[in-house]
Amino acid sequence: HFGLALMDYTHFSSPIRRYPDLIVHRALKEFILKLTLSDKFTEGVDFVSLGEKTSERERRAMDAERFVTRRKQCWFMKPKIGETFSGIISGLIGKGLFIQIPEFGTEGFLPIEALGGFYQFDEDHMCFRKRPGHTVLSVGDPMEIQVFAVEVEEGQITFSLFEKK
């Protein structure tokens, strides 16, 4: 561990949540009780391969959870196309802004073209700047948005800027 300046270390969470943590708990228990890891514990076990496989499975489970959650959010938002909500800028990339609707805990994308005017992405300061006038849009800023489109199959919610008439 670089930050702790240690060659050997471990960390773990509740063993009921992750199989790798259960393995660490079992190894620590074995070592504490016997001051060694018995052949019975380590025989025939490739811990590197086991760690890689369990980490890969954990990533797959997380991806599946995100996939389903995103589709459920889209399914929920689809009937709300055209409705207006108060959102908060939760992320920025060169092509636009990610806006979260705290009321629902869902997030969508506002393409930069939808903002109108000339905005320039400032990657160093993680904001969009508008010239002239120097309007700045940053993470955490509130924004009134309208649900423009929802593509359930793609897991995409697109917003437009709400403009008062």
Q: Which CATH architecture has domain 82-161?
A: Beta Barrel (2.40)
Q: Is the pTM of this model over 0.75?
A: no
Q: Over 70: is that where the pLDDT of 1 sits?
A: no
The reported pLDDT for the residue numbered 43 is 75
Task: Give me the residue spans of the domains in the chain.
Answer: 82-161
> CB-based burial of residue 75 (10 Å sphere; 0-12 exposed, 13-18 middle, 19+ buried)?
exposed
Give one word for 143, left, alpha or beta, with left for phi > 0 and alpha for psi -120 to 50: beta
d(CA 145, CA 88): 9
Nearest CA to 146 among 101, 102, 90, 105? 101
Q: Over 90: is that where the pLDDT of 148 sits?
A: yes
d(CA 30, CA 95): 53
Residue 128 vs residue 156, higher pLDDT = 156
Give the rounded percent of residues in the chain with a pLDDT score beyond 70. Answer: 88
Mean pLDDT score, 134-143:
90
Tell me what the pLDDT averaged over the chain comes to: 86
User: What are the pLDDT digits (tens) for 19-71?
Assistant: 777 777 777 877 777 767 667 666 777 878 888 888 898 899 999 999 999 99
- H or E stretch at 68: helix 47-77
